[in-house]
Structure 1
């Protein structure tokens, strides 16, 4: 196996859901004061990036209109930007270019698009126009029905090929190579076996040459592996995915529980550096 390509310590992207119905923490941070306080707390715990979203993409969820997404997130973004140094990126989690544009004008720095620019044809041109980083995620189907018996012949190869194609589309739209990040979309149109195959082969995605973002935090497949514990009891399982990802070269981990995952990432990084020294 080739050595992982990650050349800098792993970064943590703290999840800030400003939604009433996210699968794990829906409703907890819908109030802007609570959302801002939680964002600041995650930074104190070791987050490097905050990812702010106003729409749940859990299995079975319905789309949220752009206007409502903006109502939920823009004030939170403005208030966090006022409190944070410019070196801390804020990411807007949306598939709508209009929401992304408004969020970027309010102080966001990145776009995190779970459709990889397929839901809205204006998304990749927007990222190119404003020269901002964009996370392109693999998703099979749409959130409402994506878990209805998803099938692949070779999930690793198909996810890899899809991400490579979306990266090429972003480049063709004018997005700079260094501004493209890829996410295999754990749990987005995948069975337990599909998720395990991707977790075991993250290095194959790293070899595409773009930073890989891993979002396995509290996901349903972890519950299935751990006696069906509820999302809030999947911290140790999430930390295991973080350590496994670091050892395979993943660059960024999108997590709910920052402090514990910071420890897992730092320990795994130290081991990886030692094992590849010389």
Structure 2
């Protein structure tokens, strides 16, 4: 039976909250690596207002190594099963089709693939068979090489073209268009200046005709906001992240992927109240 794509409220994007079940995440340094800690964190995020929990067992920070398939699954399966079993909408953040299938069996209802199906040639067939919503991100290679692949003639136009090609390939493999969400991949094979350009022109991604998910949260291009001489650590980038969430809400994106839910919800409520007052 197909899982339908969650729809955002009328006044804000969906909030997808990150649950990193990894020892080497750039954003939280492995605080939720233990399954019990990750489950408790997921419950906390839902209590703070998150609409979707994005559970991942592989760090995609620049330079990160990959766990093997068995280890990735060991990390995420009990977390997905517990949180989905409690009624949470759970997304699995994985590039492996086998992990995606196991996570859906455990209760996940969305597959979020930062490679857009390029890292695993079986992903499109598996997602088509599972008939679950699928987030396809713009991707040019694994973490060890992605920052060597930042050449664009026009970053927004090129990312749109590459995403259009991925969507066409996914549809040709049997993935229904109604399943698809696209993500332009802030921080993945992008320089800081290119990330700022994408944020300034984020409305142009709507030309793809699909829901758009954006993840700017705690990304390195925000690290010098208010701190020009020294990079802010990831957990001090939440105010800047909240500001981007307002801009993204105003651009009409489907969802924002964040680490800190309270600051995001507060920022989105301010944007919604201003929009309502102006009607």
On whether the aligned pair clears a TM of 0.5, the verdict is yes
Report if aligned partners of 2:140, 2:149 keep a CA contact under 8 Å in 1: no
- CA distance in 1 between partners of 2:19 and 2:29 (Å): 10
Counterparts of 1:17-96 in structure 2, within 5 Å, are 17-84=20-87, 88-96=88-96
The structure 1 residue matched to 2:266, chosen from 263, 266, 269, is 263
State which drifts further: 203-212 or 167-176. 167-176
Of the structure 1 ranges 209-218 and 225-234, higher mean CA displacement relative to structure 2 is found in 225-234
Matched, 1:168 2:171: no
Indicate the larger mover: 49-58 or 219-228.
219-228
Distance 1:203 1:52 in 2: 27
* TM-score, normalised by the number of residues in structure 2: 0.92
What is the aligned partner in structure 1 of residue 225 from structure 2? 225
Given the superposition, is the C-alpha separation of residues 167 and 24 from structure 1 closer, same or farther in structure 2, using an over 3 Å criterion? same
The one-character-per-residue Cα deviations of 1:77-133 (angstroms, maximum 9, x if unpaired) are 11112222xxx4211101000110111111111100000001111111111111100
Distance of aligned partners of 1:249 and 1:231 in 2 relative to their CA distance in 1, 3 Å threshold: same
Q: Deviations over 1:199-225 (max 9, x none)?
A: 011100022111111100011000033
**Residue 249 of structure 1: how far off its partner (Å):** 1.2
CA contact (8 A) 1:10 1:269 kept: no
String of CA shifts for 1:39-91, please: whole Å, max 9, x gaps: 0000010100000000000001112211110010001111112222xxx4211
- Distance in structure 1 (CA, Å) of the matches to 2:34 and 2:164: 38
CA deviations on 1:20-52 (whole Å, 9 max, x unpaired) are 000011311111111011000000101000000
Who is 1:248 aligned against? 251
Shift of 1:175: 1.8
Following superposition, the deviation at residue 265 of structure 1 comes to 1.7
The runs of 5 or more residues in structure 2 that have no matched partner are 1-7
Q: May I ask how many residue pairs the two structures share in their alignment?
A: 268
The whole-number CA distance in structure 1 between the counterparts of 2:113 and 2:147 is 19
Report if aligned partners of 1:17, 1:26 keep a CA contact under 8 Å in 2: no
Cα distance per residue 1:124-152 (max 9 Å; x no partner): 11111111000000123321121236221
Shift of 1:272: 4.0
Matches within 5 A, 1:163-242: 163-227=163-227, 228-242=231-245
Question: Cα distance, 1:270 vs. partner?
Answer: 3.8
The RMSD of aligned alpha carbons is 1.5
SS at match of 1:112: strand
TM-score (norm. length: structure 1): 0.92
Q: Is the 8 A contact 1:52 1:73 kept in 2?
A: yes
